């Protein structure tokens, strides 16, 4: 069995992966959103389910909220509820893609009234951050156009910069703005923040408290995502990850499901660039569990990230550097592949047991009866899902 060194175990000990509240609600495709027994009906139940993931893995200490999906009357009470369950409230995600006014844009809209409405929503999100103790405001914009000539794409960038500046100026010294990007959908001709360069250009002009969020599913096929990771770390502007997996577009599948080697390569660059267990680089999941059970789906996801982190830490950096210096192409690649192909699962299982955790968190959760209990208890009301 592969042995993980004390240094690797120490690094794994510090790893934390934030869970998205919406992963515990119902989701689906544009054709159908399927319901499942036991789905949470409010943010309190979402957090209770997220706490189960952390209880079995000790990898998920924070839960991100989505506003207005996770609106409550008293956010201080929600914060206490989370802390009582052993987790904290994390990133606050804004939503300007489900209001009729935002059909042709929100922070980029040519109508000052609509644009101000979108700005005010983000200021409300910062008020929520003040109450929850959250550090990051994450912004993803579903804005753009479908046809050439439909809109003034340059003016939209100017309006976006002005809107973001107004939001940024409201942040406290301890808070950050994190701007996500996505190359298409729902806009198909142009998207206002389509790539890391546009996001970087926007946040760089705001200040030190503005960073880029990299969603691993938000790239064109064949994109070298680890190169982007390296570049943003090099520039000091990689604020957070949204980890998921994709086969075709923004599939939001369990991270590592489609291409585990890609996840390994990404995390290697995180380690290489000083991003692992760096408080300035947040790890978060952004996934939807359309057909699988949600809590086990999140458990599997954080375990996948942990496993690929352990493999990335096994790369013999000295041997790799030596091969690179000698232009030993195959030798350098072999060092990389040796680490990737190492089965670290038995060592991780043994390590979990040494920390008082179940060796197999998936099996332990399945045997706990929690899934059956929430299916029996959560009868009536409206299940949480897209838009709720």
Q: Does 294 map to a domain?
A: yes
296 inside domain:
yes
Phi/psi of residue 110, nearest 5 degrees: -75, -20
Residue 124 CB: number of other CB atoms within 10 A? 15
Into how many domains does the chain fold?
A: 1
For residue 38, what is the domain's CATH number? 3.20.20.150
Q: 144-145 and 190-191 as β-strands: parallel, antiparallel, unpaired?
A: antiparallel
Report pTM: 0.96
| Residue 113 belongs to domain spanning | 15-315+358-377
**Residue 223 is assigned to a structural domain of this protein:** yes
Nearest to 127 by CA among 175, 191, 194: 175
> Cβ distance 93 to 66 under 8 Å?
yes
Residue 237 has which token pair? Answer: 């502007």
Local confidence pLDDT in tens for the 388 residues of the chain: 899 999 999 999 999 999 999 999 999 887 888 889 999 999 999 999 999 999 999 999 999 999 999 999 999 999 999 999 999 999 999 999 999 999 999 999 999 999 999 999 999 999 999 999 999 999 999 999 999 999 999 999 999 999 999 999 999 999 999 999 999 999 999 999 999 999 999 999 999 999 999 999 999 999 999 999 999 999 999 999 999 999 999 999 999 999 999 999 999 999 999 999 999 999 999 999 999 999 999 999 999 999 999 999 999 999 999 999 999 999 999 999 999 999 999 999 999 999 999 999 999 999 999 999 999 999 999 998 875 5
- For residue 180, what is the enclosing H or E element? strand 176-180
How confident is the model at residue 1, as a pLDDT? 83
- Cα 242 to Cα 33, 37, 213, 363: the distances in Å are 22, 27, 7, 26
Place of tokens 């332990």: 364
Query: Distance (Å, rounded) from C-alpha 51 to C-alpha 326?
Result: 49
d(Cα 63, Cα 298) in Å, to the nearest integer? 12
Asked whether the beta carbons of 159 and 151 are under 8 A apart, the reply is no
In a domain? residue 190: yes
Answer yes or no: is 110 within a domain.
Answer: yes
Residue 336, domain member (yes or no): no
> At 64, phi and psi to the nearest 5?
-85, 145
Please report whether residue 369 resides in a domain.
yes
Q: How far is CA 87 from the centre of its chain?
A: 17
Angle, helices 196-204 vs 225-235, to 10°: value is: 10
Alpha-carbon gap, residue 191 to 146, rounded angstroms = 9
Q: Examine residue 386 and state whether it is found in any structural domain, yes or no.
A: no
């Amino acid at each position: 069995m592969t042995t993980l060194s004390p240094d690797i175990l120490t690094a794994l000990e510090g790893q934390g992966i934030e869970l998205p509240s919406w992963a515990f609600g119902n989701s689906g495709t544009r054709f159908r959103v399927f319901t499942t027994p036991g789905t949470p009906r409010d943010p309190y139940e979402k957090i209770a389910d997220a706490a189960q993931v952390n209880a079995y893995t000790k990898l998920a200490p924070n839960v991100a909220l989505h506003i207005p999906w996770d609106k409550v009357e008293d956010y201080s009470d929600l914060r206490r509820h989370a802390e009582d369950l052993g987790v904290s409230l994390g990133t606050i995600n804004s939503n300007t893609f489900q209001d009729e006014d935002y059909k042709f844009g929100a922070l980029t809209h040519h109508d000052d009234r609509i644009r101000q409405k979108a700005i005010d929503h983000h200021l409300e999100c910062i008020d929520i951050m003040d109450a929850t103790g959250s550090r990051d405001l994450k912004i993803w914009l579903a804005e753009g156009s479908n046809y050439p000539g439909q809109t003034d794409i340059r003016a939209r960038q100017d309006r976006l910069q002005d809107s973001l500046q107004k939001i940024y100026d409201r942040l406290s010294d301890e808070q950050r703005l994190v701007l996500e990007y996505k190359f298409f959908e729902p806009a198909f001709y142009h998207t206002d923040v389509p790539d890391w360069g546009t996001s970087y250009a926007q946040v760089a002009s705001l200040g030190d408290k503005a960073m880029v969020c990299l969603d691993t599913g938000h790239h064109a096929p064949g994109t070298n995502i680890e190169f982007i990771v390296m570049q943003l770390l090099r520039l000091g502007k990689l604020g957070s990850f949204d980890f998921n997996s994709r086969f075709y577009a923004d599939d939001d599948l369990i991270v590592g499901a489609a291409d585990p080697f890609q996840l390994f390569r990404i995390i290697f660059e995180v380690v290489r660039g000083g991003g692992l267990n760096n408080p300035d680089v947040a790890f978060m999941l952004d996934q939807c569990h359309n057909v699988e059970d949600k809590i086990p789906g999140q458990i599997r996801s954080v375990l996948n990230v942990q496993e690929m982190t352990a493999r990335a830490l096994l790369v013999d950096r000295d041997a790799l550097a030596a091969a690179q210096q000698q232009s030993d192409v195959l030798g350098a690649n072999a060092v990389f592949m040796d680490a990737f192909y190492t089965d670290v699962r038995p060592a991780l299982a043994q390590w979990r047991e040494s920390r008082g955790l179940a060796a197999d968190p998936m099996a332990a959760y399945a045997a706990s009866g929690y899934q059956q209990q929430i299916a029996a208890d959560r009868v009536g009301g409206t299940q949480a899902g897209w838009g709720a």
